[in-house]
Every structure is written in C-alpha cells, then in structure tokens.
Structure 1
Amino acid sequence: MYRPASFVETDLAALDALIERDNFITLITVRDGVPMVNHLPVLYHRDGDSVRLRGHWARPNPQARHAGPATVVVHGPHAYVSPSWYPDKESEARVPTWNYAIAHLTGTLETFDDEASLAALVDDLSHQHEARVGRDWRFEYGRDDHRSQLRGIIGFRFHVDTASLKFKLNQNHPIANRLAVAEQLETQQRDDSRDIAALMRARTPLET
C-alpha cells in the first residue's frame, strides 16, 4: 500500500477502533499465481503487538484450503473532499481528493474444523453481533441440530505479522483547511463522512 509519511498511522489502538467499527474484512490469498478474495466477519484479539483474527468459511469455499500466507484488508470510513471547502482553494489551485482510513494486515492462516473450536467461534460471533441488534440468539452446545450445522464450515485463525495503517485525513494541508473540511463533512448525510470528520478533528491540533 502506498503510504506517504504524512498518512502513516502506527498506533495499534487505531486498528482496534477500525475493527470495532467494522469487523467485516476482505481476505486475500494466492494459489498458483491466482488471487482469491473473500469477505468475512471476524473476531479480533490483540495482546500488545500480537494480533489475531478468527473467522470461518463455508466448507465448499476453495479458500478454505488456503492455509499459509494471506493478506487482510480492514475497511475504515471514507469520504469525498470538495476543493471548494478549502479556505486557500484559489491561491493554491486545490483539487478534489478522498479521505479514508484503512489497514492492511499480512500474516499466516491456520485452519481448523474440530467441533469444539467451531462451536466456540460461532457462539462468540453470534454473541457479539446479536448484542448489536438487540437480540440474544446463542449457539446451543447440547443441541444435535446446532452441532450438525458445524459440518458446513471450516474455521481459521489469522496470525498477523505486519500491520500497515493509512489514515489519509488532509495532514498535508494547513490546519485551517483541515478544520474547514471536518466542518463540512459533519454536515453530510453519510455516516462515513461524519466518521472521517471525527478522525480529522482528533488528529488536527487547534490553532494557537
């Protein structure tokens, strides 16, 4: 990923926040020179600099046989930026751009299909997302019909070796421009635009 120095983010707390906001990742593997891409919900765990993801595929998915090197894209918010919002738009001949936050993780996939691990994964995923929608469905370990469903999936653990974060938030502009863009984004209807505005304000020092 192209990362000019102004946009490099090194604090893994920023990765925590991206995953908390949206844990539906893009998983990329390559076999025999051919990339395979899938989109999957994951569970996230970080202990210091150690990061691990857990998730699963449908068993027929060919990527479920792709243990080994992989790349994960964690998608953050993004928003269009109009040059008309910059106070110096005329003097600097400003042009449109796009602000965004994103992370690329590289590491190793480890697959598993034992019943206990799959059951724990499904239960943990459902517990997380049921709470977000105000419901309480849980995997019931004692039900044969619930356990039989596990035969249709293969689980994975993704052990992260490197995390590359890019937060492109007009850091290469004067503070006045950054604050003006954040103010305009806060008025937009899209959640992503308002989320980008919040990230910009958090990373823009107040003028003195």
Structure 2
Amino acid sequence: MYTPRAFASNDPAALDALLAADPFVTLVTVVDGAPVVSHLPVLIERDGGRLALRGHWAKPNPQSSHTGPALAIVHGPHAYVSPSWYTDKVEETRVPTWNYVVAHLHGTLERLTGTDDLASIVADLSARFETQVGEQWRYVDDDAHRSQLRGIVGFRLHVDRIDTKVKLSQNHPDANREAVIGKLGAQDTDDARSVAQWMREALAASRAGDRHGS
C-alpha cells in the first residue's frame, strides 16, 4: 500500500478502533498468480504483541482450501474533500482529495477444521454480534448445531506485518484541517462524521505533540 510518511500510523489503538468499528474484512490470497477474495466477519485475538484474526468460510468457497501468505484489509471511514473548503484558497495548489483510514494486515493463513475450533468460532461470532442487533441467538453444542459445522471451514490469520494508513489532511495547515472537520462533521453520513472525528483526534494529538516538543 502506498503510504506517504505523513499518513503512516504505527499506533495499535488506531487499528483497534478500526476493527472495533468494522470487523468485516476483505481477505485476499493468491493462487497461480491470480487473487482470490472473500469478505468476512472476523474475531480479534491478541496475545501480548501478537495479533491474529479468526473466522470461517463456507466450505464451497475456493479460498477455504488456502493456507500460507494472505492479506486482510480492514476498511475504515472515508469521505470526499473539496478544495473549496480550505481557508488558504491557493487554487493552483489545492485539489480535490479523499480522506480515509485503512489497514492492511499481512500474515500466514491457518485452516481450522476441528469440531471444537469451528464451534468456538461460531459461538464467539454470535456472542460478538447478536447483542448489536438486540438478539440472543447462541451456538448450542447439540447434534443439530454440530451438523451445521460440516458446512464451514475455519481460519486463523497470524499477522506478522501491519500497515495502517491514516490520510486526514495532515499535510495541510491547521486552519484547513479545522475547516474540513467542520464541513465533514456537518454532513449527514456516518462516514463523513466519522472521518471528521478521526481528524479532530489527529489534530489534537498533533498539537499536543507540538506543545511537548517545544
């Protein structure tokens, strides 16, 4: 992923915030030079400094037979930014752009096919997401539910490299950043308001860093 230095982040909290807001990732593997892609909800596992993602495929999904190198893309909020919002109005050097947050998790894919592993994935996914919709479905370890496990294949992605890109107008003067925050925060889309909040926090952190460095 192309990431200019101004937009690179090595803050684990940024990745945690992305995964907490939207744990529905794009999982990419490559076979015979061709990409294979799935879109999947995942569970996050942290063990000290180690990170892994856990989830499952439908068994007929061709990717369910894959192991080895893989990439998970964690999608964050994104929004269009108009140069007309900038306060400096230097038209010849200000152009439209897109602000966004995204993370690429590179690692090694492990297939999980044991009944206990699959049951744990389904149980943990339901526990994670049922409460969000006000429901109470739960995996029960009985014959009916165990029979359903034959239709899935589990995976664990052992993450060994994280590239997080936080493109939030950091290359602009503070006044421009404040103006963009105001415009995005006033829009009626969740993405725009979320980008505005990310920008507020990034600007506050930048100013705090400047004070500590002075």
Could you tell me the TM-score, scaled by structure 2's length? 0.93
CA RMSD of aligned residues (A): 1.4
Q: Which residue of 2 aligns with 1:184?
A: 183
Q: Which AA in structure 2 matches 1:62? A: P
The unaligned stretches of length 5 or more in structure 1 are none
Q: Which residue of 2 aligns with 1:85?
A: 85
Q: CA deviation at 1:91?
A: 5.6
Q: Which residue of 2 aligns with 1:153?
A: 152
Q: Which AA in structure 1 matches 2:200? A: R
Q: Which AA in structure 2 matches 1:73? A: I
Superposed CA deviations along residues 104-156 of structure 1, whole A, max 9, x for unmatched, are 01100000111111011100000110011111100011x21111000000000
What secondary structure sits across from 2:169 in the alignment?
coil
1:189-200 matches, within 5 Å, as 189-200=188-199
1:114-193 matches, within 5 Å, as 114-141=114-141, 143-193=142-192
Could you tell me the TM-score, scaled by structure 1's length? 0.96
Instruction: Pick the structure with more helix per residue.
Output: 2
1:31-110 matches, within 5 Å, as 31-90=31-90, 93-110=93-110
Superposed CA deviations along residues 25-54 of structure 1, whole A, max 9, x for unmatched, are 000000111110110000012234211000
Tell me the distance in 1 between the aligned counterparts of 2:173 and 2:15.
26
What secondary structure sits across from 2:183 in the alignment?
helix
Q: Which residue of 1 aligns with 2:202?
A: 203
The unaligned stretches of length 5 or more in structure 2 are none
Q: Which AA in structure 2 matches 1:150? A: L
Query: 1:95–1:149: structure 2 CA closer, same or farther, 3 Å change rule?
Result: same
Q: Which AA in structure 2 matches 1:186? A: G
Q: CA deviation at 1:56?
A: 0.3
> What percent identity do the matched residue pairs reach?
57
Q: Which AA in structure 2 matches 1:185? A: L
Tell me the distance in 1 between the aligned counterparts of 2:91 and 2:100.
25
